Structure 1
Amino acid sequence: MVKSGLERLLKESRKDLLDRRLGLLCHQASILPNLTPAWVALKAKFSQKLKLLFSPQHGLFGEKQANMIASYEIVEPETGVPVISLYGPRLAPEPEHLAEIDILLVDLQDVGTRVYTYIWTLLLTMKACSKNGVKLIVLDRPNPIGGKIEGPILEEKFFSFVGLAPIPMRHGLTIGELALYLCQKFSLDLELEVIPMEGWSRDMFFPETGLPWVSPSPNMPRFETSLVYPGQVILEGTNLSEGRGTTMPFEVFGAPWLKVLALKEFFSKIEGIKVQIMHFIPWFDKWAGKLCQGIRLWIKEPQTYQPVKTTLLMLKEVAAQNPEFTFRSPPYEYEWSKSPFDIIVGKEELREALITQNEEHILTLLEEGTKEFQEEVEGLKLYV
């Protein structure tokens, strides 16, 4: 079984932490293999030294839905430690919070996709710690979809809270490796430590770790969701339902007007995937209460499946066959003017290529910059 950074920290003799005031950035997936929450385990080990908890988007217990649904300050009931929200009232710790601690521990389960706000909460927290002289320790966890990458690379003009650095959509790094990359990329004057996992390798998918899957966010209920998410999250920038408001978010998608028979034919030519025509009625979000003609995705060969490429080529088909298809209007994740589709995919040219049906240009844009990113992060990788 893989040992997380949290598990390793708790088993190590860290005398350097015993007399320091600690904070912890975490969420409901920050657990030990026996499901003990990180804050309970750390409180037991360091007693009164755990001063503050910080929660990312969705709240400490993952109770809030997505897209600017804020969470607020609470007191964690089992430990009595105050929880400071980093989504809504603020997006990073404030100086008065950091004045209460000497070291900030970070234990977050990422899903390997650029459009997932926890890694950007990490970056903004790193910048705040750098300015305020607080050491930051990342307790590493698996990238559930392994070490492969897929573009496109995010362009700086589309930076937002779902992307604040020029990384690929599927980045192939652990959250600890991302912390090292972001520290180097932004030249942060930060005392940064990463406690690596034990037993993890880049060819692993989450079930191979032996660790329990706890939903890192409300619409990431299963490991299988994370397999399709790097592509299907792009649907958030369109008027297609990405399955929010159903029991299978991102694994199903559709709309009342979607021509599903033609799409089934499209998917029959895609390696690593099977599909099923499925009708569904979302109970919230896009097309709430409406019967949607839809598709369910079944990933049969995770090693060969390319989620970003598949979704973009699928959208090319949808745009060609369905005149009702459109791109979503702002706001989206605290961005009030830019196209949600553009800030999600990271390149304006991709939206244009979908409209003009230019498949060759789509595939070129997917590859642009990925080799250079691989070279940039090679020396920062903690695992083979």
Structure 2
Amino acid sequence: MQKLNRLFLFLPLLMVACNGCGANQNKAKNEQVETNQISQKEDAILTGADQTEKYIPLLKGKKIGLVINQTAEINGVPLVDTLKSLNVNIKAIFGPEHGFRGDADAGEKVGNYIDNKTGFPVISLYGTKQAPSKEDLKDLDLVIFDIQDVGARFYTYTITLARVMQACADNKVPLLILDRPNPNGNLIDGPILDPKFKSGVGIHPIPISHGLTVGEFAKMINGEKWLTNGAQCELNIIKVANYHHAKAYILPVKPSPNLPNNLSIYLYPSICLFEGTAISQGRGTNFPFQVLGHPLLKGKYDFSFTPVSIAGMSKNPPLENQLCYGIDFRKMELESIRNQKELNLKLLIDLYQQYPEKATFFTPFFNKLAGNDLLMQQIKDGKTEKEIRASWKAGLDNYKEKRKNYLLYP
């Protein structure tokens, strides 16, 4: 009986001790979770714009011009609003393709206007002029460039960058670049642009997917002396923190009306080539650059979609109101597409072979997108993917060596 009493006396003590062990274990787990969360926060990507402490002091007492669009933001707040709240002296905003607010259609010319929200004058660089004029820059001490790119040669923002750099160099106005990640930073592929095929969708001798951030691209423009007469633009680049080229980055704002999500962005370098064909890329749907199709592919594919006019995305889409049959990429695994190391050339070959009217498959615009007239001919001649890639190899190898000289990130 005494032994039993001693046991009952011992049990509460044991329970208290065990509860203490549990509390300690829970505390340890909570501390570990907090440590992991802190570690994740410390490892989070910070764009150049996010790091205000690095560039706001550079703006004090200066008259500033901004080359920006809707992607220039800090935690959901437009960069222009942040700068205005800090009493930065903004004199002008320069808007690229799709406009300062990002709501103009692809290729739509945009005029100058006064922004209703901020009251600042907006000067379009995608209308009658393509770069700031001497008059535009005469009262500016510094120009800031902050636009999200997606790493494809025919995405026009790096062309805007080059033209702004030329204007700044010619007028001796420094350029401050608030860098952002390249969501396709790990993809370097495609034919090098032949200078004979320079156009509004390609002016530099680079592959279709170049693997550079905007800051790195600016360094390459200076380093390769691509500006007229080898002019040099005075650059200051606020680097992205905690970024490397293979690191995933989910864009907080769609970079243009028809790239609504990361799937479309990852597919864009491959699918945009179809803008130079009869095939619809899904403009006029809520899933552009995530599907491919044409009415003449009926019976070859089960999936179908119908492009329609959508304000703010595609006012007059190709094949409008026509039932298209083709391929739906929306069920593909996002990570596998992000980790692609090559353009999906097989798509182009396969759809050309499936298309019944070969003579009308390609349009003249295709050669501008490809950057040469060879790729179209190779497809028509029935060349294999391996044979086509072999024709790219020397140019790509040379480009990759040059690229190393301008990298800001691993």
Question: Which category of TM-score, normalised to the shorter sequence, fits these structures?
Answer: 0.7 to 0.9
Please give the secondary structure, in 2, of the residue aligned with 1:84: strand
TM-aligned CA deviation for residue 307 of structure 1? 5.7
Unmatched tracts of structure 1, length 5 or more: 265-276, 330-338
Residue aligning to 2:189 = 150
Residue aligning to 1:358 = 383
Residue aligning to 1:323 = 356
Please tell me whether the aligned partners of residues 68 and 100 of structure 2 are also in contact (alpha carbons under 8 angstroms). Answer: yes
Please give the secondary structure, in 2, of the residue aligned with 1:104: strand
Out of 290, 302, 305, the position equivalent to 2:340 is 305
Please give the secondary structure, in 1, of the residue aligned with 2:203: coil
Please say which of residues 212-221 and 174-183 is displaced more in the overlay: 212-221
Please tell me whether the aligned partners of residues 352 and 361 of structure 2 are also in contact (alpha carbons under 8 angstroms). Answer: no
Partner amino acid, structure 1, of 2:322: K
Unmatched tracts of structure 2, length 5 or more: 1-43, 309-315
Out of 275, 279, 294, the position equivalent to 1:255 is 294
User: Are residues 1:375 and 2:401 paired?
Assistant: yes
User: Are residues 1:296 and 2:328 paired?
Assistant: yes
Residue aligning to 2:74 = 32
User: Are residues 1:4 and 2:47 paired?
Assistant: yes
Partner amino acid, structure 2, of 1:342: N
TM-aligned CA deviation for residue 103 of structure 1? 0.7
CA distance in 2, matches of 1:78, 1:215: 20
CA distance in 1, matches of 2:352, 2:408: 41
Q: Using a 3 Å threshold, how does the CA distance of structure 1 residues 368 and 195 change in structure 2: closer, same or farther? A: same
Please give the secondary structure, in 2, of the residue aligned with 1:64: coil
Q: Using a 3 Å threshold, how does the CA distance of structure 1 residues 201 and 4 change in structure 2: closer, same or farther? A: same
C-alpha offsets along residues 336-358 of structure 1, whole Å, 9 cap, x if unaligned?
Answer: xxx31111011211100100111
Residue aligning to 2:3 = none
TM-aligned CA deviation for residue 55 of structure 1? 0.5
Residue aligning to 1:85 = 124
Please tell me whether the aligned partners of residues 150 and 367 of structure 1 are also in contact (alpha carbons under 8 angstroms). Answer: no
Partner amino acid, structure 2, of 1:45: L
Q: Using a 3 Å threshold, how does the CA distance of structure 1 residues 259 and 154 change in structure 2: closer, same or farther? A: farther
Residue aligning to 1:163 = 202
Please tell me whether the aligned partners of residues 216 and 407 of structure 2 are also in contact (alpha carbons under 8 angstroms). Answer: yes
Please give the secondary structure, in 1, of the residue aligned with 2:212: coil
TM-aligned CA deviation for residue 228 of structure 1? 0.3
Please tell me whether the aligned partners of residues 54 and 238 of structure 2 are also in contact (alpha carbons under 8 angstroms). Answer: no
Work out the number of aligned pairs and report it.
351
Partner amino acid, structure 2, of 1:51: K
TM-aligned CA deviation for residue 156 of structure 1? 0.8
CA distance in 2, matches of 1:151, 1:2: 28
CA distance in 2, matches of 1:260, 1:91: 45
Please tell me whether the aligned partners of residues 6 and 38 of structure 1 are also in contact (alpha carbons under 8 angstroms). Answer: yes
Q: Using a 3 Å threshold, how does the CA distance of structure 1 residues 260 and 116 change in structure 2: closer, same or farther? A: farther
- CA-based RMSD of the aligned residues comes to 1.7
> Per residue, is there more helix in 1 or in 2?
2
CA distance in 2, matches of 1:219, 1:109: 14
TM-aligned CA deviation for residue 370 of structure 1? 1.1
TM-aligned CA deviation for residue 193 of structure 1? 1.2
Please give the secondary structure, in 2, of the residue aligned with 1:218: coil
User: Are residues 1:199 and 2:225 paired?
Assistant: no
State TM-score, norm by structure 1: 0.87
Please give the secondary structure, in 2, of the residue aligned with 1:320: helix
Out of 146, 171, 189, the position equivalent to 2:232 is 189
TM-aligned CA deviation for residue 13 of structure 1? 6.3
CA distance in 2, matches of 1:11, 1:239: 50
Please give the secondary structure, in 1, of the residue aligned with 2:215: helix
CA distance in 2, matches of 1:11, 1:171: 30
C-alpha offsets along residues 118-146 of structure 1, whole Å, 9 cap, x if unaligned?
Answer: 11011011111111111111100010123
Please tell me whether the aligned partners of residues 145 and 204 of structure 1 are also in contact (alpha carbons under 8 angstroms). Answer: no
C-alpha offsets along residues 59-118 of structure 1, whole Å, 9 cap, x if unaligned?
Answer: 111111112x11111222332111110001211111110112111000000011111001
Out of 140, 145, 151, the position equivalent to 1:106 is 145
Partner amino acid, structure 1, of 2:357: E
Out of 347, 354, 373, the position equivalent to 1:348 is 373
Partner amino acid, structure 1, of 2:340: Y
Please tell me whether the aligned partners of residues 169 and 230 of structure 1 are also in contact (alpha carbons under 8 angstroms). Answer: yes
CA distance in 2, matches of 1:303, 1:257: 31
Q: Using a 3 Å threshold, how does the CA distance of structure 1 residues 366 and 66 change in structure 2: closer, same or farther? A: same
Q: Using a 3 Å threshold, how does the CA distance of structure 1 residues 260 and 346 change in structure 2: closer, same or farther? A: farther
State TM-score, norm by structure 2: 0.82
Q: Percent identity?
A: 34
Partner amino acid, structure 2, of 1:145: N
Residue aligning to 2:104 = 64
CA distance in 2, matches of 1:294, 1:368: 34
Matches within 5 A, 1:117-266: 117-185=156-224, 186=226, 187-207=230-250, 213-258=252-297, 261=300
User: Are residues 1:314 and 2:340 paired?
Assistant: no
CA distance in 2, matches of 1:27, 1:234: 25
Partner amino acid, structure 1, of 2:71: A
CA distance in 2, matches of 1:231, 1:349: 17
Rg larger in 1 or in 2? Answer: 2
CA distance in 2, matches of 1:291, 1:14: 52
C-alpha offsets along residues 230-263 of structure 1, whole Å, 9 cap, x if unaligned?
Answer: 00000000011111111111101100012674xx
